[in-house]
Chain A
Amino acid sequence: AQSVTQLGSHVSVSEGALVLLRCNYSSSVPPYLFWYVQYPNQGLQLLLKYTSAATLVKGINGFEAEFKKSETSFHLTKPSAHMSDAAEYFCAVSEPFGNEKLTFGTGTRLTIIP
């Protein structure tokens, strides 16, 4: 069975500061990993995905994530936070060629302090 754990349900950073959102996964096979963002009153939007190619993945809006097998982690970072980054962020995992299901974490709400 696969699962993800997002450490910290709420994270606050100052505008211009580093954003770090944590995600650890559990999977019986090498997983595929995803980060999604949800703005208020909207659906989830794919930020980036890891599919066993490069371990450092770049996504939209200046975000990137690094797959670390030894740490079973896939943390999301952005060098400089912007007010528009305020949203909820979800990490998700799937098994390659397994089935169509994604398993989501519980989400991290990111607040940007002016």
Chain B
Amino acid sequence: ETGVTQTPRHLVMGMTNKKSLKCEQHLGHNAMYWYKQSAKKPLELMFVYNFKEQTENNSVPSRFSPECPNSSHLFLHLHTLQPEDSALYLCASSQSNQVAYEQYFGPGTRLTVT
């Protein structure tokens, strides 16, 4: 595997389900990010982790729970979601000791909440 991978690519879940999204980066980076991309809305930064420590929580509802066990893996645990949470969830990584924090993105997980 190369770059940033995300699984699953598509997920349909009911409002009472619990599921998790997984992200893995193979780039040796130390920072990882979760974004939400909804139709007709700007890309929304949700969480930032730097060296496994959460450095940003952008007022995300508690039904989204991130986990970063190491610098290569990032999870987003989902429970009791709402239909408006349906979106493309993108994971990204970067190397924070570089001059510019250019981010590398995974292909995303298309989430549909029914």
Contact = CB atoms under 8 A, between A and B. Distances in A.
A100 B42 contact: no
B56 A101 contact: yes
Given A49-B102, A99-B55, A100-B101, A42 B108 contact: yes
Nearest to A51: B100
Contact of A94 (B56, B100, B104, B108): B100
Interface of A: 32, 34, 36, 41-46, 49, 51, 90, 94, 96-97, 99-102, 104-107
Contact of A96 (B43, B100, B106, B108): B100
A60 to B, nearest CB: 13
B105 A43 contact: yes
A97 to B, nearest CB: 8
B45 interface: yes
B81 interface: no
Contacts of B106: 43
A100 B94 contact: yes
A90 B42 CA distance: 10
A44 B4 CA distance: 11
A49 B96 contact: no
8 contacts: A32-B99, A34-B102, A42-B107, A43-B4, A51-B100, A96-B99, A105-B42, A107-B43
Contacts of A34: 100, 102
A32 B101 CA distance: 9
B76 to A, nearest CB: 15
Given A49-B100, A94-B100, 14 more contacts: A32-B100, A34-B102, A42-B107, A44-B90, A44-B92, A44-B105, A100-B31, A100-B55, A100-B101, A102-B45, A102-B101, A102-B103, A104-B42, A105-B42
